[in-house]
Amino acid sequence: MMRLTHDLLLLIHVLLIVVWLGGDLVVFWLSMSLLNRERPIAVRLDRAHIAEEIDRWVVIALLLTIPIGFSLAHMSGYRLFETPWLSLKLAFFGIILLVGIGILTGAAGTTQTLERIAERQGDVEALEARLRRRILVMAPPAVTIHVCIVIIIFIALTKYRW
């Protein structure tokens, strides 16, 4: 029974990571597409709303990954800070959390800026510039998160070689 529970948790853990990385890549692509001024503002606004919804699921997957990962480590007999590969995964996970908080706070207001552009509230060129700046500033941290996730996956797949 314990093995079945472990295998089920491992499957859920892997699926959450797939949702996390895949969803985050979709949000990144959607965010970058908001910069294309040739698209109608309604399309850009819809993409911003879709990105927000997907990002909500990305955050849920990220947060669920933590307790499931700890449970798997405990069930497998690993001690969190005494196992080098596990400690390294936790360090990268910490980086992801810190960068993710920065992205969430920095990206706040993107949809509202697009709504103001759609309603022609204020200087549209200034609003477009603010939108562009906000998205481009968030791109390197988003890529950092993707790289960290890939490194964590690599560590998990090579843990027996440590």
Give me the pLDDT at residue 80, please. Answer: 79
pLDDT of the chain, 162 residues: tens digit per residue: 788 899 999 999 999 999 999 999 999 999 999 999 999 999 999 999 999 999 999 999 999 999 999 999 999 888 878 888 889 999 999 999 999 999 888 888 899 999 999 999 989 999 999 999 999 999 999 999 999 999 999 998 887 766
Give me the pLDDT at residue 83, please. Answer: 87
The two tokens of residue 54 are 């997907």
Per the CB < 8 A criterion, the answer to whether 56 and 90 are in contact is no
54 vs 50: CA distance, rounded Å: 6
Give me the pLDDT at residue 162, please. Answer: 63
126 vs 159: CA distance, rounded Å: 50
Residue 143 CB partners (closer than 8 Å, separation 6+): 28
4 vs 142: CA distance, rounded Å: 35
Give me the pLDDT at residue 33, please. Answer: 95
Phi-psi region at 40: left, alpha or beta (left = phi > 0; alpha = psi -120 to 50): beta
**Considering only CA atoms, which of 132, 153, 137, 112 is closest in space to residue 22?**
153
Phi-psi region at 65: left, alpha or beta (left = phi > 0; alpha = psi -120 to 50): alpha
Give me the pLDDT at residue 81, please. Answer: 81
